[in-house]
Every structure is written in structure tokens, then in C-alpha cells.
Amino acid sequence: MYTNISPTWLKYLIENTPNFILIDIREPSLHESSHIEHSIVIEPRKIINKLSNLVSSKKTKLIIYDQDNSESPSVANLLIADGYHNVSILEGGLQQWILEQQPVKSLN
């Protein structure tokens, strides 16, 4: 089972804990226009293959977000079914992150 993580807690982790991977599962063009700092973009249909090349252990902490949590729960469950043990989703997605006035980055 995945856990939910609040924007406040995610901000704390970003500032104080380097041992996790933050994954934006939105379209790459959306990631380019605004995203949470240190996040990487991986499309849901490619996530299992990409993560097998990125992480050395299925115990690595993974935090997933999308725009509004419409896809994050199903992707988190997919990862858990594939053997990942430490999966969280950002409550409310990027939309909630922005509502709580947390910083976003842009590649443009």
C-alpha cells in the first residue's frame, strides 16, 4: 500500500533528505512548463522500465505526483505490484502544491 504525503512534508524532505526519487508522471511538456524542483519526468507507461535503470533497490523511496492525483494512485499501485516497497503520492498533486504556495520550476 502506498502512503500519502502532504506538500509541507514533501518540501521538508526536499530540503533535508536526499535519499528519494521524486517522479512527475505528467506529460513531458507539462513538466517543462512547471514542476517541483528535483523531480524527474517519467511517463506512466514507461515507469517500470525507467526505474529499473535508475534505482539499485526496490526499497528506494519513490514519491509520485501528477496534476491533481488522477493518475498517481494507479501508478503507485503498479509500482507496488512490481515489488517496490516505499511508494508515496503527493496529496492533491501539483495543483495542491501550488495552492499551498510551494515553489515550482520551469525549463522554459
Q: What is the mean pLDDT of residues 27-35?
A: 95
The Cβ of residue 16 has, within 10 Å, a number of other Cβ atoms equal to: 7
CATH assignment of the domain containing 21? 3.40.250.10
With a cut of 80, say whether residue 92 has pLDDT above it.
yes
Confidence of residue 108 (pLDDT cuts 50, 70, 90): low
In a domain, 92, yes or no: yes
Domain count, the chain: 1
Please name the amino acid found at residue 6: S
> Which structural domain range is residue 23 located in?
3-99
- Are 64 and 75 within 8 A, CB to CB? yes
In a domain, 49, yes or no: yes
- pLDDT tens for 56-67 read 899 999 999 999
Averaged pLDDT of the chain: 95
In a domain, 104, yes or no: no
Please name the amino acid found at residue 73: P
- pLDDT tens for 73-89 read 999 999 999 999 999 99
In a domain, 74, yes or no: yes
